[in-house]
């Protein structure tokens, strides 16, 4: 297929999927070009929101909050139940939109929508379990209790690589908690956001939820600024690069707003001599090359015991040779395109820097398919052996590059694993229980996610997701994540008819 024919086919599939979801592509058209990474060509356009639109969305969400917070939580849960049903019904359609905009292979795009359905399930159950504890009072005739209340407006800023799932992680729980939401998706995946928002709007209309509780703004990072600075945004949940976190966090802190940061990772796996190497190989290859290295949890650093390193790297290189790189719309493809030219240039620069820092490219790193898709950026996932953890290894390059280092002792491996500024995901492959337990202990991995005999990517709803250090400290989609979207009040109720003071204080 020529580029033009392929692009036309994507457009036809996209418009049909949008129509089934209830979005007429022409009705959202505007000055913003939507490109597909598959061919690098334009497939649609969207309107854009300016700063005034963002402010208006915050105002509308703030007004809607006054009604929504009074709606009983299980009734709020009914909205999320219906949203989950609609997402199930349109799973294939939304996956088509995501794949067109982000270039994911079909099964990963479906997986992303499944994650939305899973968080809806969790949030619906949660709507009947916003528990507060009661505790014994030290004073007779008194009761102490905690109650949980919604926060207000929650701003959600999301990244391109999970264009819809991370929004759902936040929104399903925030709406159940009684908050209202204003969403600013990444610039490159606005149609996925429009489609997701349409399904939520449909659910809201069907269950009779008040207007205005969920707002979508198609603003760029500059016009999205009110989400950061406006004190009416009680919680800002922001997913993206460490650079973005550094830009916004001081402003939110200066107004004493709450912030939930899900920033870049630089994830490592340790492979020990006792590991099941067949299993480790599959875990490593999926985590390092899957989604073309564009997951926050992508495996970027492999720390292998020196006694098995050469043989294991040979096996990775052979396995990489069998990966089908190419058009994600073809069923056999496992590795699709990078999001854009900038990503490709960042990957090339990182490999050149790694070589300058003493690294040796074991395989990959080249651009492919440029003859077919001149503006599509497809790369061979690279494996680069490094003499040590040099400066390039400490950076997150959002492309498929796996740096391999060796170690002698487990303590040394853990020191390498923890020796980067980020702290998202980590793994150890071992059949030695002591090694596994040490890795999971306080002297082990310093990451928010620490796995045994499974790679660094592929989290499940229910387990808290997020990372330490420069990854930002946020936690989402875990069993107790709802608390991030609520405020806690402590209540002391006196039914004694007396007024004894705490700690035995006497006054009057
Ligand atoms: P990015 O930082 O370029 O953009 C992310 C979002 O932030 C976009 O919506 C963007 O418009 C917005 N943004 C950026 N600067 C802003 C500012 N100053 N004010 C307001 N909004 C601003 O990231 P990206 O390229 O879209 O995504 C890739 C990055 O996201 C990687 O670093 C990846 O690790 C990270 N990520 C982290 C997680 C996680 O859960 N930890 C999940 C997905 C992606």
d(CA 221, CA 216): 14
Residue 412, phi-psi category: left (phi > 0), alpha (psi -120 to 50), beta (remainder): alpha
Is 189 marked active-site?
no
Distance 160 CA to ligand 1 centre (A): 7
Residue from 112, 262, 396, 470 carrying the catalytic annotation: 262
As for ligand 1, residues whose beta carbon falls within 6 Å of it are 157-162, 166, 184, 186-187, 221, 224, 228, 239-241, 244, 247-248, 262-265, 296, 396, 398, 424, 471
Distance 159 CA to ligand 1 centre (A): 4
Tokens of 417: 């694993």
Contact, 485 vs 179, CB < 8 A? yes
Which of 48, 182, 240 for mutating ligand 1's site (highest number of atoms within 8 Å of CB)? 240
Return the ligand 1 atom nearest residue 219 CA. 11
Distance 426 CA to ligand 1 centre (A): 21
Which of 239, 346, 396 for mutating ligand 1's site (highest number of atoms within 8 Å of CB)? 239
Is 262 marked active-site?
yes
Return the ligand 1 atom nearest residue 187 CA. 11
Q: Whose CA is nearest to atom 21 of ligand 1?
A: 221
Confidence (pTM): 0.98
Contact, 456 vs 409, CB < 8 A? no
Q: Whose CA is nearest to atom 35 of ligand 1?
A: 240
Give residues with Cβ within 8 angstroms of 386, minimum separation 6. Answer: 354, 357, 358, 359, 393, 403, 404, 405
Give residues with Cβ within 8 angstroms of 453, minimum separation 6. Answer: 275, 276, 279, 280, 283, 427, 428, 429, 430, 431, 436
Please choose, from the candidates 459, 370, 50, 472, the residue with its C-alpha nearest in 3D space to the C-alpha of residue 222: 50
What pLDDT was estimated at residue 104? Answer: 98
Q: Which residues pair with 457 in a beta bridge?
A: none
What pLDDT was estimated at residue 1? Answer: 63
Q: Identify the structural domains of the chain with CATH numbers, from first to last.
A: 3-263+472-488 (3.40.605.10), 267-460 (3.40.309.10)
Q: Which residues pair with 14 in a beta bridge?
A: none
Distance 41 CA to ligand 1 centre (A): 23
Residue from 120, 189, 296, 447 carrying the catalytic annotation: 296
Distance 161 CA to ligand 1 centre (A): 9
Q: Whose CA is nearest to atom 28 of ligand 1?
A: 240
Return the ligand 1 atom nearest residue 157 CA. 9
What pLDDT was estimated at residue 272? Answer: 98
How many other C-beta atoms lie within 10 A of the C-beta of residue 207? 15
What pLDDT was estimated at residue 423? Answer: 98
Return the ligand 1 atom nearest residue 247 CA. 18
272-295 in b/e form (b: 16+ CB < 10 A) is beebebeebbebbbbbbbbbbbbb
Q: Whose CA is nearest to atom 20 of ligand 1?
A: 221
Give the SS3 label for residue 449: strand
Give residues with Cβ within 8 angstroms of 325, minimum separation 6. Answer: 333, 334, 335, 368, 369, 378, 379, 380, 381
Distance 237 CA to ligand 1 centre (A): 11
Return the ligand 1 atom nearest residue 264 CA. 34
pLDDT digits (tens, 9 = 90+) for 200-242: 999 999 999 999 999 999 999 999 999 999 999 999 999 999 9
pLDDT digits (tens, 9 = 90+) for 438-482: 999 999 999 999 999 999 998 999 999 999 999 999 999 999 999
Distance 47 CA to ligand 1 centre (A): 21
Return the ligand 1 atom nearest residue 296 CA. 34
* Regions of the chain where pLDDT drops below 70: 1
What pLDDT was estimated at residue 427? Answer: 98
């Amino acid at each position: 297929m020529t580029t033009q024919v392929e692009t036309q086919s994507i457009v036809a599939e996209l418009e049909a999927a949008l129509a089934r979801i209830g979005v007429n592509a022409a009705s959202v058209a505007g000055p913003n070009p939507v490109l597909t990474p598959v061919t690098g060509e334009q497939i649609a356009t969207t309107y854009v929101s300016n700063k005034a639109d963002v402010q208006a969305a915050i105002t509308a969400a703030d007004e809607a909050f006054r009604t929504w917070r009074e709606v009983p939580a299980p009734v709020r849960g009914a909205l999320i139940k219906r949203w989950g049903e609609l997402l199930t019904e349109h799973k294939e359609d939304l996956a088509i939109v995501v794949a067109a905009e982000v270039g994911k292979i079909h099964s990963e795009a479906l997986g992303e929508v499944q994650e939305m359905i899973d968080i809806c399930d969790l949030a619906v159950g949660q709507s009947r379990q916003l528990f507060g504890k009661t505790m014994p009072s030290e004073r007779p005739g008194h009761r102490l209790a905690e109650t949980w209340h919604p926060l207000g407006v929650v701003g959600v800023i999301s990244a391109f690589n999970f264009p819809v799932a991370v929004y759902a992680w936040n929104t399903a729980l925030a709406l159940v908690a009684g908050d209202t939401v204003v969403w600013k998706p990444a610039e490159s995946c606005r149609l996925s956001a429009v489609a997701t928002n349409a399904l939520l709007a449909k659910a809201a209309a069907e269950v009779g939820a008040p207007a205005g509780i969920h707002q979508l703004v198609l603003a760029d990072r500059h016009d999205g600024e009110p989400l950061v600075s406006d004190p009416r945004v009680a919680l800002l949940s922001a997913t993206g690069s460490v650079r973005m976190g550094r830009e916004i966090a001081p402003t939110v802190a200066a107004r004493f707003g709450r912030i939930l940061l899900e920033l870049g990772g630089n994830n490592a796996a340790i492979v020990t001599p006792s590991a099941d190497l067949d299993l480790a190989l599959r875990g490593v290859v999926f985590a390092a090359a899957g989604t073309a290295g564009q997951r926050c949890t992508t495996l970027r650093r492999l720390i292998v015991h020196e006694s098995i390193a050469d043989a294991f790297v040979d096996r990775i290189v052979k396995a990489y040779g069998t990966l089908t790189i190419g058009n994600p719309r073809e069923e056999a493809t496992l590795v699709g395109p990078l999001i854009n030219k900038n990503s490709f240039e960042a990957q090339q620069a990182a490999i050149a820097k790694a070589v300058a820092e003493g690294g040796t490219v074991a395989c990959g790193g080249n651009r492919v398919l440029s003859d077919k898709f001149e503006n599509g950026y497809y790369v061979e996932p690279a494996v680069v052996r490094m003499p040590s953890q040099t400066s390039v290894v400490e950076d997150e390059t959002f492309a498929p590059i796996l740096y391999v280092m060796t170690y002698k002792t487990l303590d040394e491996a853990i020191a390498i694993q923890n020796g980067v500024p980020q702290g998202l995901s980590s793994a150890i492959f071992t059949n030695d229980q002591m090694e596994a337990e040490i890795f999971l202990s306080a002297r082990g991995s310093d990451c928010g996610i620490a796995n045994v005999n499974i790679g660094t990517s592929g989290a499940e709803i229910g387990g808290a997701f997020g990372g330490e250090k420069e990854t930002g400290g946020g936690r989402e989609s875990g069993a107790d994540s709802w608390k991030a979207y609520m405020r806690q009040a402590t209540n002391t109720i006196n039914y004694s008819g007396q007024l004894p003071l705490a700690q035995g204080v006497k006054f009057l």
